[in-house]
């Protein structure tokens, strides 16, 4: 019974989703008298945004001394990406390490993996994020908006937040008496991706709920150079349900979610690309949605209890969560896995925010995380381990005339214990324990020079303890197509970062600029060696002292209300000190990225009361130019230079409105309009096989969403 709950089949997903939606629809019909139909889609748009972002929205963006980007619901919807991280990569300072079209890992200002904390449903999303091909176990349909904190955020989120934080915000709570449903479908031609979502949410007498089911599948993607790329197909199922109370005293909500992903693995063999022959086996045809060997099965279960209590001068929040992540790799038989990792995670986050006299706002909190990982397969990459992480922090903020001052301190303690493991009578992993302590802090200020003009500066101390794979890997990483070796002697990363920025907005334009420079001692990374183990190239974890600097620029000119001319540019330069020419640059440094977009928009509300009208209509042509990346880690061909390339995206969309009520919205886009054959510098498939594989080619996307 427990196994069936934690690892449901697609059939069980359908049955449970239909049952939930039927029950919620029944509730909606019974309580229809509470719903004001004239306000369902237009009367509460702003309220929804306020509910989503609260003090972490535009107010926080203007008051924060470090860069905070807000990616709203419209930006998320007007995207034709195959996952949520790919959507974020369109914005300055954010990149993605990709494995085909199905798996993306976020990179903020050249740093990623365990240096970024992802927050979903109010808690850290903890899976196997250390792996190259381990994507974020989060379905895009459950995310309404995203807040991006760039730079060390260890102060608020602990170790692993050295590069920044991605806060994925769920759909906003509805106002009292409202209920809404939504059905949407999407199709992409480049990899045959189809996706559909069913959702229902409501708020009746303070009882709130939100239920969503989503499913997607894609066959191998295609490009002009490789044809169909074998091993790039994937499918996923997601189910999320939330129920709770929300009233003037605060809220208490329970969220349960299941996410199941089955990606195939492209290994770069001679048969991994080009059109399949007429006599090709049924297990491999370009348009087949079935997985090919090798492939993975990933199941992620999460339960979150989110509580908030409002007092006269403050708010107490307490969030408890349990997560289980199970990853299996199938190599030779479709029903026999080799590697299996079971990760159990429990987290607790308690904080109190208090408004004091004279404009002071004080926040104190404690956080704890427990992890336990077990090997349950016949192959091994990392040992079993137990981790305990404890942290405490205090932050303060004050408004002083035209100045907003903020800062704080945090102390973290992480204890990691690895257990010995024998493989066929030989010691594969020895037992060891490590303890890491870190004292971090930040101090910054925002000067509100004039209406619409802000200048900001911040200095932050970051800390990250090495994770278990970095300390003790010893085995074949099938998904990364290599043999990995850890290093017991690695030290914790310590960083200092300086941020300077400015933003300006008026009726005709908005502009922003951000400059950063970071010192990171004991920076940990992998590099390819000249050795080969069990037929795979050996990659070794090592460390050095890194220096990263760069900037982001953005300007949006709208000479008339309906026309936007947008330009953004981001640049990162990352290197090691006291190294040779082949090892002086850090691996996985994003190429300079220039994005230009021309966008025309209609007013949000139709001016006519006719039977059929358009609202929120727009047309956009965007250009993404990635310059040549000639700064790379060259030792033993770990990386190679990447030439420049330019991609174009054309998109249009509109809401269909009947008598002032939205009945559907339609989105159409063409990615890689000119079908350019290219290899991204951050694509893992660039280095598989003899010549590497290319990124996806042209793809047409059609999305339709129908509210009810």
Kindly report, residue by residue over 617-638, the tens digit of the pLDDT.
Answer: 999 999 999 999 999 999 888 8
Within a domain: 438: yes
Contacts of 560 (CB under 8 A, 6+ apart): none
> Coil, strand or helix: which one is 25?
helix
Domain count for the chain, please give it: 1
- Tell me, what's the pLDDT at 270? 53
| pLDDT tens digit sequence for 634-655 | 988 889 999 999 999 999 999 9
- Tell me, what's the pLDDT at 550? 96
- Tell me, what's the pLDDT at 643? 97
**Can you give 649-678 as a three-state secondary structure string?**
EEEEEEEEEECCEEEEEEEEEEECCCCCCC
Rg of the Cα atoms in the chain:
25
- Tell me, what's the pLDDT at 496? 95
CATH of the domain at 625: 2.40.170.20
The number of beta carbons lying within 10 Å of the beta carbon of residue 446 is: 23
Print burial letters for 31-45: b (CB count within 10 Å at least 16), e (below 16).
eeeebeeeebbeebe
- Tell me how far apart the alpha carbons of residues 183 and 77 are, in angstroms, rounded to a whole number: 14
User: Which burial class, exposed, middle or buried, applies to 153 when counting CB atoms under 10 A from its CB (0-12, 13-18, 19+)?
Assistant: buried
User: Which burial class, exposed, middle or buried, applies to 239 when counting CB atoms under 10 A from its CB (0-12, 13-18, 19+)?
Assistant: buried
Q: Are 144 and 51 in contact (CB under 8 A)?
A: no
- Tell me, what's the pLDDT at 606? 64
Report whether pLDDT(490) > 90: yes
- Tell me how far apart the alpha carbons of residues 220 and 296 are, in angstroms, rounded to a whole number: 15
Q: How many CA atoms lie within 13 A of 378 on its CB side?
A: 6
The number of beta carbons lying within 10 Å of the beta carbon of residue 439 is: 12
- 24, containing H or E segment: helix 10-30
Bridge partner list, 379: 339
Print burial letters for 471-505: b (CB count within 10 Å at least 16), e (below 16).
bbbbbbbbbbbbbbbbeeebebbbbebbbbbbbbe
Within a domain: 288: no
Report whether pLDDT(49) > 80: no
- Tell me, what's the pLDDT at 292? 87
Q: What angle do CA 434, 437, 441 make, to 5 degrees?
A: 155
Report whether pLDDT(143) > 50: yes
Report whether pLDDT(31) > 70: no
- Tell me how far apart the alpha carbons of residues 134 and 325 are, in angstroms, rounded to a whole number: 11
> Coil, strand or helix: which one is 479?
helix
pLDDT band with cut points at 50, 70 and 90 for residue 478 = confident
Within a domain: 286: no
- Tell me, what's the pLDDT at 269? 63
Comparing CA positions, the residue from 678, 708, 681 lying closest to residue 696 is 678
- Give the residue carrying structure tokens 């934080």: 165
Report whether pLDDT(138) > 80: yes
- Tell me, what's the pLDDT at 102? 80
**What string of DSSP letters covers 558-627?**
-SSTTEEEEEEEEEEEEEESS--TTTSBPSSPPPPEEEEEEEEE--SS-S--SSSEEEEEEEEEEEEEEP
| pLDDT tens digit sequence for 548-579 | 999 999 999 988 888 999 999 999 999 999 99
- Tell me, what's the pLDDT at 285? 59
- Tell me how far apart the alpha carbons of residues 630 and 326 are, in angstroms, rounded to a whole number: 38
Within a domain: 287: no
Classify 484 in phi/psi space as left (phi over 0), alpha (psi -120 to 50) or beta.
Answer: beta
Average pLDDT, the chain: 86
Question: 79 vs 329, which has greater pLDDT?
Answer: 329
- Give the residue carrying structure tokens 């279960």: 301
Tokens representing residue 501 in the block: 């920025």
- Tell me, what's the pLDDT at 608? 60
Report whether pLDDT(479) > 80: no
5-22: average pLDDT: 39
- Tell me, what's the pLDDT at 99? 86
- Give the residue carrying structure tokens 């059109």: 275
Within a domain: 283: no
- Tell me, what's the pLDDT at 156? 85
State phi, psi for 77 to the nearest 5 degrees: -70, -40
Comparing CA positions, the residue from 695, 661, 506, 560 lying closest to residue 97 is 695
The model's pTM is 0.88
Question: 128 vs 279, which has greater pLDDT?
Answer: 128
Strands 645-658 and 613-626: what pairing?
Answer: antiparallel
- Note the Cα 386 to chain centre separation in Å: 25
- Tell me how far apart the alpha carbons of residues 262 and 327 are, in angstroms, rounded to a whole number: 10
- Tell me how far apart the alpha carbons of residues 306 and 29 are, in angstroms, rounded to a whole number: 28
525-545: average pLDDT: 91
Within a domain: 631: yes
Report whether pLDDT(73) > 50: yes
Report whether pLDDT(373) > 70: yes
Q: What angle do CA 679, 682, 685 make, to 5 degrees?
A: 60
- Give the residue carrying structure tokens 């929804």: 48
Q: What angle do CA 150, 156, 162 make, to 5 degrees?
A: 45
Q: Are 630 and 592 in contact (CB under 8 A)?
A: no
Comparing CA positions, the residue from 183, 325, 338 lying closest to residue 257 is 325
Query: How much of the chain, in percent, has pLDDT values that exceed 90?
Result: 66
Report whether pLDDT(142) > 60: yes
Q: Are 183 and 17 in contact (CB under 8 A)?
A: no
- Tell me, what's the pLDDT at 497? 94
Question: 563 vs 79, which has greater pLDDT?
Answer: 563
Q: CA of 282: how far to CAs of 287, 288, 595, in Å? A: 11, 8, 41
Print burial letters for 375-394: b (CB count within 10 Å at least 16), e (below 16).
bebeebbbbbbbbebbbebb
Report whether pLDDT(30) > 70: no
Contacts of 315 (CB under 8 A, 6+ apart): 250, 308, 309, 352, 353
Tokens representing residue 15 in the block: 């049955």
DSSP E strands: which ranges in 264-335?
295-310, 314-333
Within a domain: 285: no
Report whether pLDDT(273) > 60: no
- Tell me how far apart the alpha carbons of residues 263 and 541 are, in angstroms, rounded to a whole number: 26
- Tell me, what's the pLDDT at 29? 33
Within a domain: 249: yes
Q: Which domain holds residue 526?
A: 2-166+176-278+293-707
Query: How much of the chain, in percent, has pLDDT values that exceed 70?
Result: 88
């Amino acid at each position: 019974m427990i196994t069936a709950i934690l690892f449901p089949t697609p059939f069980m997903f359908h049955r449970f989703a239909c049952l939930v939606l039927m029950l919620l629809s029944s509730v909606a019909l019974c309580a229809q008298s509470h719903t004001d139909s004239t306000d369902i889609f237009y009367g509460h748009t702003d309220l929804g945004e306020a509910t989503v972002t609260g003090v972490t929205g535009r107010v926080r963006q203007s008051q924060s001394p470090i860069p905070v980007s807000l990616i709203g619901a419209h930006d998320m919807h007007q995207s034709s990406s195959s996952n949520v991280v790919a959507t974020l990569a369109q914005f300055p300072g954010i990149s993605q390490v990709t494995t085909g079209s199905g798996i993306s890992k976020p990179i903020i200002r050249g740093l990623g993996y365990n240096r970024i904390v992802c927050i979903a449903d109010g808690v850290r999303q903890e899976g196997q994020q250390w792996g190259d091909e381990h994507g974020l176990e989060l379905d895009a349909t459950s995310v309404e908006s995203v807040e991006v904190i760039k730079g060390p955020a260890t102060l608020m989120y602990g170790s692993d937040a050295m590069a920044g934080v991605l806060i994925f915000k769920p759909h906003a709570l509805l106002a009292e008496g409202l209920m809404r449903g939504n059905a949407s479908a999407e199709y992409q031609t480049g990899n045959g991706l189809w996706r559909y979502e069913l959702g229902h949410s409501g708020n009746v007498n303070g009882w709130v709920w939100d239920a969503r089911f989503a499913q997607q599948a894609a066959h191998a993607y295609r490009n002009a150079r490789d044809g169909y790329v074998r091993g790039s197909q994937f499918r996923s199922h997601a189910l999320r349900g939330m129920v709770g109370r929300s009233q003037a005293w605060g809220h208490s909500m329970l969220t349960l979610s299941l996410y199941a992903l089955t990606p195939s693995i492209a290994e770069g063999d001679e048969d991994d690309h080009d059109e399949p022959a007429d006599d090709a086996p049924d297990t491999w045809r370009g348009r087949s949605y079935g997985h090919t060997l090798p492939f993975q099965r990933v199941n992620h279960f999460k339960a979150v209890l989110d509580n908030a209590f409002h007092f006269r001068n403050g708010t107490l929040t307490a969030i408890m969560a349990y997560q289980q992540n199970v990853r299996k790799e199938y190599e030779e038989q479709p029903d026999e896995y080799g590697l299996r990792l079971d990760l159990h995670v429990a987290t607790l986050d308690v904080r109190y925010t208090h408004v004091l006299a004279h404009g002071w706002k004080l926040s104190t909190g404690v956080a704890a995380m427990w992890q336990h990982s077990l090997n349950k397969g016949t192959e091994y990459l990392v040992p079993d381990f137990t981790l305990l992480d404890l942290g405490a922090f205090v932050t303060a903020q004050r408004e002083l005339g035209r100045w907003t001052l903020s800062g704080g301190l945090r102390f973290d303690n992480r204890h990691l214990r690895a257990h010995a493991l024998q493989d066929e009578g030989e010691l594969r992993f020895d037992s060891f324990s490590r303890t890491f302590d870190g004292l971090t802090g930040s101090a910054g200020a925002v000067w509100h020079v004039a209406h619409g003009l802000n200048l900001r500066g911040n200095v932050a101390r970051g800390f990250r303890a090495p994770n278990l794979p970095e300390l003790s890997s010893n085995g074949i990483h099938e998904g990364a197509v290599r043999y990995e070796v850890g290093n017991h002697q690695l030290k914790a990363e310590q960083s200092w970062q300086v941020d300077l920025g400015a933003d300006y907005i008026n009726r005709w334009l908005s502009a922003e600029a951000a400059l950063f420079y970071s010192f990171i001692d004991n920076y940990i990374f992998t590099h390819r060696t000249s050795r080969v183990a069990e037929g795979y190239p050996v990659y070794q974890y090592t460390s050095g002292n890194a220096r990263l600097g760069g900037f982001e620029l953005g300007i949006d000119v709208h000479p008339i209300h309906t026309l936007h001319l947008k330009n953004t540019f981001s640049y990162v330069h990352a290197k090691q000190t006291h190294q040779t020419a082949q090892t002086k640059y850090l691996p996985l440094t994003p190429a300079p990225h220039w994005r230009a977009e021309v966008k025309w928009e209609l007013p949000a509300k139709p001016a006519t009361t006719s039977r059929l009208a358009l609202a929120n209509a727009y047309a956009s042509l965007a250009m993404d130019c990635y310059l040549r990346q000639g700064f790379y880690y060259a030792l033993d061909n770990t990386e190679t230079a990447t030439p420049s390339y330019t991609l174009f995206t054309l998109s249009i969309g509109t809401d269909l409105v009947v008598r002032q009520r939205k009945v559907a919205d339609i989105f159409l886009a063409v990615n890689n309009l000119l079908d350019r054959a290219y290899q991204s510098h951050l694509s893992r498939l660039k280095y598989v096989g003899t010549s590497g594989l290319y990124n996806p080619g042209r793809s047409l996307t059609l999305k339709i969403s129908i509210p009810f």
